[in-house]
Amino acid sequence: MKNDPHIIRFLSYISLFLFFMMVLVTASNLILFFFAWEGVGVTSYLLISFWFTKISANKAAIKAMIINKIGDTALLVIFIIVALQTKSVDFYTIYGIIKQFGPEIFSFNENLFLSVMLTIAVTTKSAQLFFHSWLIDAMEGPTPVSALLHSATMVTAGIYLYLKLYPCLVMFSYTPLLLLLVGSITTISAAVVACF
Q: Is the CB of residue 31 less than 8 Å from the CB of residue 89? A: yes
The pLDDT of residue 73: 93
Strand partners of residue 29? 90
Q: Is the CB of residue 129 less than 8 Å from the CB of residue 182? A: yes
Find all residues with CB under 8 Å of 67, minimum gap 6, and list them: 124, 131, 133, 134
Query: What is the value of pTM for the model shown?
Result: 0.85
Using CA atoms, how far apart are residues 30 and 121, in angstroms rounded to an integer?
14
Average pLDDT per 10 consecutive residues for the chain, totaling 196 residues: 81 89 90 91 88 87 89 91 87 84 74 84 82 79 73 77 76 75 88 90
In angstroms, the Cα distances linking 128 to 16, 68, 109, 152, 172 are 25, 12, 25, 14, 20
In angstroms, the Cα distances linking 65 to 10, 70, 74, 89 are 19, 9, 14, 26
The pLDDT of residue 170: 64
Using CA atoms, how far apart are residues 34 and 116, in angstroms rounded to an integer?
18
